[in-house]
Amino acid sequence: MSPLRFSAVPAAVLALLTVAAEATAADFPYAGLPAEQAAAVMRLPEGFKVVPFAAEPDVTQPIAMAIDHRGRLWVAEGHSYPVKRKPGEGKDRILIFEDTDGDGRHDTRKVFADGLNLVSGLEVGFGGVFVGQAPELLFFADADGDDVPDGEPEVLLDGWHYEDTHETLNSFIWGPDGWLYGCHGVFTHSRVGPPGTPDEQRVPINAGIWRYHPTSGAFEVFAHGTSNPWGVDFDEHGQSFLTCCVIPHLFHVIPGARYFRQAGRHFDPHVYEDIPTIAKHRHFVGHQWTEADKNASLDTGGGHAHAGAMIYQGDAWPQQYAGALLMNNIHGARLNADSLTPSGSGFVGDRLPDFCLTDDLASQMLYLRSGPDGNVLVIDWYDTSQCHHTNIEGHQRSNGRIWKIVYDTPLTPRPRGASALDRASTEELVVLLTHPNVWHRRHAQRALQERNDPATGALLAPLLGHANPLTRLRGLWAAAATATLTGEHLDAALTDADPNVRLWGVRLVAQSRPALPMSAGVPRAIGDLPPLPAFGDRLEALVQMAQTDPAAPVRLELASLAQRLPLEERGDLLAALLARGEDAGDHNLPLMAWYAFEPLVPANPEAALKVALAGELPTVRRLTLRRVGELGTPASREALVTAAANAAAAGQDDRALEALAGLSGAIAGRKVECPAGWADAVAALRTSRNETVRDQAVGFDYRFGNPAAGEERRATVTDAAASVDRRRAALADLLDVPSDDLAIFLRRLISAEPAAPLTPDLIRGLGRADSPENPPFLRQYLPRFDPAGRRAALSVLVSRPAGAEALLNAMAEGEVPTADLTADLARQLRNLGDDALTARLAEVWGTVAETDEERAKLIVQYKRKLSAGDNSSDVTPDRVAGKALFTKTCGQCHELFGEGGKVGPGLTGSNRRDLDYLLSNIVAPSSVMAKDYRPTVLLTDGGQVHTGLIQAETDAAITLATADGEVVVPTASVLERMESDTSMMPDGLLNPLSTQQVRDLVAYLRGDGPVTGVVPGSAGGE
């Protein structure tokens, strides 16, 4: 179930939709087979085979799994998905399967619980079963182990949302520290806490990895970001990795990290930059549903939708697979494999040969784990409907598979210690901590944690002092999980010869402190921490490690730890980390240091800036200057001026530009006085050898009140020999402090060169002035503008009532084709809130479908127009003309084949080959709208209306991503602000288009790849 969504589509629209399988069935030899045959056709490396462990009717719709300490498989069936059912109507259940004779097939099957509702995660332990069922994390107690719940489940946590029912809590796994870990998707906006927790104390999560402690009840977001992760695992050193969908698929998960997001903003507004993927590769090319890209995608891994993550650490497969990460590729119907290679403070993921090719469209493996015999169990949803949608009947409800992937024959007998855990003594469990099979190690540690035997500490002592660093590490984890870790053990770990042990020593020291709120006051954790040795006086030792430790992963863990320290304790540790210049280009360290350092800036700007400027991490220095600027105080502006002047005097142009960038943020949206020291600073900056430094110095000089500098900026704007970017920067300075005659200046330049490259910028600048001369001027020059200029002029006209009236009059009189007014511009005009103009729009341009039934009828009409049987036109669709229409109607916000904007989701990897999918998204965009794509409408005191997605917000300015670019609106100028209940993508997109134009546009959208050539009137074609 990939993240390609029809989420929340109305029933009237859903009735028109068909399963996308027909479009892709030809991509694979099979589209659903009996279990034995499906296993037989799978292709694996030599020596491997797939055994059907279970299949329908014994299992259907398997969505989560866990292997218990007896080697039995627990499976959650997701019959309620994709819709949360009404109370009492849940259809999900939890099953227990057991293979008693070791042939790789189940012999017994039990129903543990039924009547559940939207189950998505499952793990066994602590005398019961942990079950994710949004909005709750439940615990079904079974203290006597009779496979019957002891009573009603306990609600451990609630507040898990399910706006997107396939992005709820999932992929449960026990971590090496004794916490339960899980994943959470980006389009579901949860606020988690124990039942009864006040909203302000709840922990928000809408993408990332979380953890819950089974005995203390503490909950924490381990790391924020990514997309819809549906798999997380830990390697032999306790490092965690996740797999996800749509965005690059692989991330190394660091405590307290913020990762690249598919959509939306981080809770902390001062993250600024997030950590990217570790993958060197992608598993798809372009758009895997198209014929042109399909073969290339199959060659590179199959697709962008991934589920499950297992780092193989069993003892049955050949050594070459040890440490390899396996994940399912849903659209590729296969198991991908990646290598994980240490690099700097983290890892690099690279592609290994695909491990298993099912050749079966129906295969949708969701989760996989190795068992007591070292072989791997996999649950398979088994459904040719690959995309998430909310049509209850859109999935093949009778299917489900559990596979066992085994190496060598005959099959290895099952027992191999599996049943021994039931009766094992504490001594025997400690021995199993060093077992070569991770299943034994993990279950032994969890059993020790559950048992709470006073003898455990003494029994672990030999492991903690063992010559093998892996054994020491496993002893350290077990001691922490069982609350037998001592201060002496922790101090020994901090000075261990092995960097992995030192790293975990730092992490366990950190975990003795709670995860503090982010800088915006957003909670990261709730509940009491489990017992660990007190932090004590170890700060000095940690600072020493930051100064001298040769291992970048240890320094990374120190940066992570710094987020848990009170601000007054962070300074020396972070100063030491910032002094490590060898980490300047590291994948993780500069940003992890920044996330801990940022709160120090508002607490003591002068001290923080001094540390950052003295440090050797340019990323932290640059972001600190930006953060200082956002403080918006006279002192902060003076500090930035001083930093710029000092850099210029030292000939450090890059540092001068960083300081000036911070100064730009400091004055954005604000009316400020000239900062102290500016006269000396501008003199130094004007002598720079760098043209950009000199230009910016002049620009700031104008903003700070020097009219002569304004004349210099005007000269640059009118300098035909200057680059467009240089002229554009000068124009921005003039617009920030508009003079009385600026509109006249701009109209003169526009009329002189109405089709020049700078003209769209000049037009948008003109729109910032509420001049009565602007609407007739733009109406007059519309025919002379090129496509980019026309788009800019139309956007300016519809942003104010007077301009909208002029445009509608021009349309009514035939001066402007109605097709020029795209749906987003019509929506912007309606957002003016003028009833007379809205009525005039309906008269001149038309109306949009207002109800689900009307939209459903439109979809039918457009399908008829696009069908081969429609004789209204025998002209073959023209994809070149379609590209021009895409640029005009869609390309401002959406990227396709590497071209277009990035305001909305990219289209290249969407299911656009499916006509139903395409039309439902075009005709009814608000029906498939995630919260993150809901626009904000701002009315300013100058009478202008802006519609867009908020990208950043400070107390002084709001940055909107609009269809025509980024707009910064001073907060003080906003009279009204509302969140729209409709998508950023407007209804009525196809309204102004002829039947042939609709065909052309749809042909381009559904096509196999980009096209070359231009048509008259298109961008670049006049």
Compute and round to an integer the Cα radius of gyration of the chain.
31
- 3-state secondary structure string across 291-338: HHHHHHHHHHCCCCCEEEEEECCCCCCCHHHCCCEEEEECCCCEEEEE
DSSP string, 141-205: E-TT-SSS-SSSPEEEEE----SSTTSSSEEEEE-TTS-EEEEE-TT--EEEBSTT--GGGSEEE
In single-letter form, the type of residue at position 412 comes to T
Backbone angles phi, psi at 316, to 5 degrees: -110, -25
Full DSSP string of 83-117: SPPPTT---EEEEEEE-SSSSSS--EEEEEEEEE-
d(CA 68, CA 301): 32
pLDDT in tens, 103-144: 999 999 999 999 999 999 999 999 999 999 999 999 999 999
Name the token pair of 841: 């729009």
Phi-psi region of 34 (alpha: psi -120 to 50; beta: other; left: phi over 0): beta
Residue type, 200: E
**b/e map of 585-623 (b: 16 or more CB within 10 Å)?**
ebbbbbbbbbbbbbbbbbeebeebbebbbebebbbbbbb
Distance CA 520, CA 269 (A): 7
Pick 35-407's CATH classification: 3.90.550.10, 1.10.10.10, 2.120.10.30, 3.40.50.2000.
2.120.10.30
Q: Answer positive or negative: Cα dihedral of 745, 746, 751, 757.
A: positive
Instruction: Measure Cα distances from 85 to 169, 632, 931 in Å.
Output: 17, 50, 22
Which residue carries 């050949």 as its tokens? 318
Element holding 628 (H helix, E strand): helix 618-631
* Tokens linked to 378: 């996999």
How much is the pLDDT for 12?
Answer: 34
What letter represents residue 9's amino acid? V
Yes or no: say if 1009 and 286 are a contact pair by the CB < 8 Å rule. Answer: yes
- In 3D space, the residue among 860, 913, 864 whose CA is nearest the CA of residue 21 turns out to be 913
Neighbours of 156 (CB within 10 A): 18
**Under-50 pLDDT residues of the chain:** 1-26, 287-290, 410-418, 869-872, 1017-1022
Check residue 806 and give its pLDDT. 96
Question: DSSP code of 877?
Answer: P
Reduced 3-state DSSP string for 351-411 = EEEEEEECCECCCCEEEEEECCCCCEEEEECCCCCCEEECCHHHCCCCCCEEEEEEECCCC
Half-sphere exposure in the Cβ direction for 438 (13 Å, CA):
24
120's tokens = 């998505």
Contact status, residue 901 vs residue 907, Cβ threshold 8 Å: no
Beta bridge partners of 334: 329, 357
Question: By the 8 A CB rule, do 759 and 746 touch?
Answer: no
Judged on CB neighbours under 10 Å (0-12, 13-18, 19+), 975 is exposed
Identity at 174, one-letter amino acid code: W
Judged by DSSP in three states, 70 sits in: coil
Helix %, strand %, coil % for the chain, to 5? 40, 20, 40
Topology annotation, domain 852-934+981-1006: Cytochrome Bc1 Complex; Chain D, domain 2 (1.10.760)
User: Which of 883, 872, 825, 824 has its CA nearest to residue 1001?
Assistant: 883
Q: Residues for the chain: how many in total? A: 1022
Rounding to the nearest 10 degrees, give the CA dihedral for residues 158, 162, 163, 168: 110
481-484, long-range: CB < 8 A, 24+ apart: 481/176, 481/177, 481/178, 481/445, 481/446, 481/448, 481/449, 482/178, 482/448, 482/449, 482/452, 482/456, 482/457, 483/452, 483/530, 483/531, 483/532, 484/456, 484/457, 484/460
What are residue 310's DSSP bridge partners?
Answer: 326
Residues 6 or more apart in contact with residue 28 via CB below 8 angstroms: 333, 359, 360, 361
Q: Answer for the pair 485, 491: CB distance below 8 angstroms, yes or no.
A: no
How far apart, in whole angstroms, are the C-alpha atoms of residue 77 and residue 56?
12
Q: What is the rounded distance in angstroms from the CA atom of residue 215 to the CA atom of residue 210?
A: 16
Phi, psi values for residue 97, rounded to 5°: -115, 145
Distance CA 506, CA 965 (A): 45
For 800, residues 6+ apart whose C-beta sits below 8 A from its C-beta are 767, 770, 775, 832, 943, 944, 945
Among residues 284, 277, 273, 274, the alpha carbon closest in space to that of 249 is found at 277
Pairing of strands 219-226, 258-261: parallel
Q: Give me the amino acid identity at 690.
A: N
H/E element, 3? strand 2-6
pLDDT at 906: 66
Backbone angles phi, psi at 492, to 5 degrees: -65, -40
Residues 6+ apart with CB under 8 A from 836: none
Closest to 184 (Cα-Cα) out of 213, 152, 162: 162
Identity of residue 611: V
DSSP 903: S
Domain boundaries, the chain: 35-407, 426-543, 852-934+981-1006
Residue 391, pLDDT score? 63
Alpha-carbon 263 to chain mean position: 5
Residue 914 CB neighbours (<10 A):
22
d(CA 492, CA 512): 16
Q: Cβ-count burial of 269 within 10 angstroms (0-12 exposed, 13-18 middle, 19+ buried)?
A: middle
DSSP assignment letter at 513 = S
Contact 998, 865 (CB under 8 A): yes
The pLDDT of residue 861: 80
Q: Where are the alpha helices (DSSP H) in 452-531?
A: 456-464, 469-481, 487-494, 499-510
